[in-house]
Amino acid sequence: MDKEKIDSNIKSTRRDFLKVTGGTIAAAGIAANGFLLRGSEAWAEEKPETWNEEVDVLIVGSGFAGLAAAAEAAGRGSKTLILDKMPTYGGNSIINGGEYASWDDEFSLRKKLNLGDDTSKLHMTDTIKGGDFYNIPALVQVMVDGAPSALNWMIDEGGLKIRELVNRAGGHSAYRTRTCTDGIGRGYTEALRKIAESKGTEIRLGTKVTRIWRQGLEGPVLGLAVENRKGRQNIRIRKALVLASGGFGYDVKMRQDFNPIVTPDINCTNHKGATGEMIRYAQAIGADTLHLAFVQLYPFAEPETGILDTPAVYPFRGPGFGMVYVDRNGKRYVSELERRDVCARAATATGSKPTFSVFSEKMIPLMGTKEEVKKGIAKGRFMTAMTIADLAKEMDVPGSHLKDTISRHNQYLADKKDPEFNKPVTAMMVPMTEGPFYAVAQWPAVHHTMGGLRINESAQVIDIWGKPIPHLYAAGEITGGVHGSNRLGSNATPDCIVFGRIAGTNAAKEKA
């Protein structure tokens, strides 16, 4: 079919569609995505009676993506307002594990620490392989290319501090993950907040967005309806709206609508506000979505509560340094350098909760700090003993099995070959020959939603007919396509920040 014919077909489909739906955009969401909008979320096109306030750039969400967008928009002279429904700022970002994947940084840490080579191409290949090739390559390219400069920007302008270590996490084939000094996402959110506020951004908390106003099916986005202590208000945009409201890991119904096997009994690492209403509101004005069934489990959360606290980040940081995962029988059950989905499935297949990560004193400075481990022991999260046999008692696993597992793994490191699980053995992996030894219990919990709004490389939100929705941008976990079926650990932080910066930059460039 030639292009003219295709265009005319699209136009007539759109006309018929409007006739059938009486012009309500909400139904478009149903038709395109098979996803039923909930009652009041199905909106006809209409304008609010009054606008209570007007800003240039309006941003929903005060996590990595929203703060980065605000920093760029406000830095370009736009009056910028961030809204967040929670009483504190930061969403999942502020509680994040502090891990940032980047093939380089301004200190050339990887080179300095003699950790081998890395390139943007390798980071891209790993990300696409890790996502089973569902990823949109152009978006991955933007993320990996922008990761080093976004990290350097936060260091230079936001006062971010990073540790002098680089780890190799599951699914990555190079040592490329940086950790901020705080060891928690707050390090990045504070740096971003500092930049954003210094440029004049206002962050308004306790303000829930309840709908998006758009002028007709093909017109621009106009603003938002919000609810807070003052009641219901409407905020109008002069330039653009940026959606940076995160994922839907905490929304049990929504995640199960798309992926029935993620059942309500599975714990969750997310903050309570990680519910997906903004995705539905965007669908209600015609936005397209993708990959909503791809829900990731973090394999190493605290087994009873699902919390991802500092001890739960160690199993993520350790594989490149020789950490060993064992089941309740004291035996390895997976290659420790495997991707998260593989590790989570293998843990579940052991059939008995929890599994454990085992490491030794020598590995601590490579992964974290002695203070973190000391605090983790005081909280009862890390177990420790001078011998493997005594550690096994603490873990309540058979001592003979654990001793055999560790000594065999030591031999694999010496042989540079892991015949059991084919783990790639590197020179940075430390054999566990000397105590004290440590262990931490772990179990999978819902962690990341890879799917979301469809965007292009400029962070514009694309509608169900493949066109950018005028004056609407999105960045961060609300979007889909960067990570494919499975996000590699530490890729979300650069994804949110790089695309947040792009969204904010382009939002500020819109004509008022």
Ligand X SMILES: Cc1cc2nc3c(=O)[nH]c(=O)nc-3n(C[C@H](O)[C@H](O)[C@H](O)COP(=O)(O)OP(=O)(O)OC[C@H]3O[C@@H](n4cnc5c(N)ncnc54)[C@H](O)[C@@H]3O)c2cc1C
Residues in the chain: 512
Residue 486 engages ligand X in binding (rule: CB under 6 A): no
Number of residues located near ligand X, criterion CB under 6 A: 41
Binding mask 444-483 for ligand X (x = CB under 6 A): ----x---------------------------xxx-----
Under a CB-based contact definition with an 8 Å cutoff, are residues 440 and 317 in contact? no
The structure tokens listed for 3 are: 């292009």
The three-state DSSP-derived secondary structure of 372-436 is: HHHHHHHCCCEEEECCHHHHHHHHCCCHHHHHHHHHHHHHHHHHCCCCCCCCCCCCCCCCCCCCC
Q: How far is the CB of 491 from ligand X (least distance, A)?
A: 6
- Binding ligand X (rule: CB under 6 A), the pick from 201, 234, 289, 491 is 491
Instruction: Identify which of residues 85 and 501 has a Cβ nearer to ligand X in the complex.
Output: 85
- 3-class DSSP state of 242: strand
Residue whose tokens read 């709908």: 211
Q: Which residues of 123-149 are buried (b: 16+ CB within 10 A; e: fewer)?
A: bbebbbbbbeebbbeebbbbbbebbbe
- Binding ligand X (rule: CB under 6 A), the pick from 93, 141, 201, 357 is 93
Instruction: Identify which of residues 66 and 75 has a Cβ nearer to ligand X in the complex.
Output: 66
Residue 62 engages ligand X in binding (rule: CB under 6 A): yes
Cα 173 from Cα 194, distance rounded (Å) = 34
Q: How far is the CB of 210 from ligand X (least distance, A)?
A: 7
Cα 454 from Cα 464, distance rounded (Å) = 9
Q: Name the residue whose CB lies closest to ligand X.
A: 63
Instruction: Identify which of residues 61 and 481 has a Cβ nearer to ligand X in the complex.
Output: 61
Which positions are catalytic? 340
The three-state DSSP-derived secondary structure of 154-193 is: HHHHHCCCEEEEEECCCCCCCCCEEEECCCCCHHHHHHHH
Q: How far is the CB of 415 from ligand X (least distance, A)?
A: 32
Residue 56 engages ligand X in binding (rule: CB under 6 A): no
- Binding ligand X (rule: CB under 6 A), the pick from 127, 167, 493, 505 is 493
Under a CB-based contact definition with an 8 Å cutoff, are residues 83 and 58 in contact? yes
Q: Which stretch binds ligand X (CB under 6 A): 43-51, 132-140, 191-199, 484-492?
A: 484-492
Under a CB-based contact definition with an 8 Å cutoff, are residues 505 and 458 in contact? no
Residue 127 engages ligand X in binding (rule: CB under 6 A): no
- Binding ligand X (rule: CB under 6 A), the pick from 78, 92, 127, 405 is 92
Residue 65 engages ligand X in binding (rule: CB under 6 A): yes
Instruction: Identify which of residues 279 and 413 has a Cβ nearer to ligand X in the complex.
Output: 279
- Binding ligand X (rule: CB under 6 A), the pick from 154, 244, 326, 432 is 244
Cα 218 from Cα 234, distance rounded (Å) = 21
Residue 167 engages ligand X in binding (rule: CB under 6 A): no
- 3-class DSSP state of 329: coil
Q: Which stretch binds ligand X (CB under 6 A): 8-16, 108-116, 243-251, 394-402?
A: 243-251
Instruction: Identify which of residues 33 and 490 has a Cβ nearer to ligand X in the complex.
Output: 490
Q: How far is the CB of 361 from ligand X (least distance, A)?
A: 24
The structure tokens listed for 301 are: 């959360």
Residue whose tokens read 């990560």: 357
Greatest CA separation for the chain: 75
Show Cβ contacts of residue 289 under 8 Å, excluding neighbours closer than 6 positions.
33, 35, 279, 283, 451, 452, 453, 454, 480
Residue 205 engages ligand X in binding (rule: CB under 6 A): no
Cα 491 from Cα 484, distance rounded (Å) = 12
- Binding ligand X (rule: CB under 6 A), the pick from 29, 91, 322, 452 is 91
Residue 413 amino acid letter: L
Residue 490 engages ligand X in binding (rule: CB under 6 A): yes
- Binding ligand X (rule: CB under 6 A), the pick from 142, 180, 209, 358 is 209
The structure tokens listed for 133 are: 């090739």
Residue 204 engages ligand X in binding (rule: CB under 6 A): no
- Binding ligand X (rule: CB under 6 A), the pick from 97, 131, 306, 322 is 97
- Binding ligand X (rule: CB under 6 A), the pick from 30, 32, 86, 122 is 86
The secondary structure element, H or E, covering residue 494 is helix 492-509
Instruction: Identify which of residues 209 and 391 has a Cβ nearer to ligand X in the complex.
Output: 209
Cα 369 from Cα 336, distance rounded (Å) = 21
Q: Which stretch binds ligand X (CB under 6 A): 363-371, 424-432, 466-474, 487-495?
A: 487-495
Residue 347 engages ligand X in binding (rule: CB under 6 A): no
Q: Which stretch binds ligand X (CB under 6 A): 59-67, 141-149, 155-163, 234-242?
A: 59-67
Name the site residues for ligand X (rule: CB under 6 A).
60-66, 83-86, 91-93, 95-99, 185, 208-209, 244-246, 269-270, 273-274, 277-278, 308, 448, 476-478, 490-493, 496
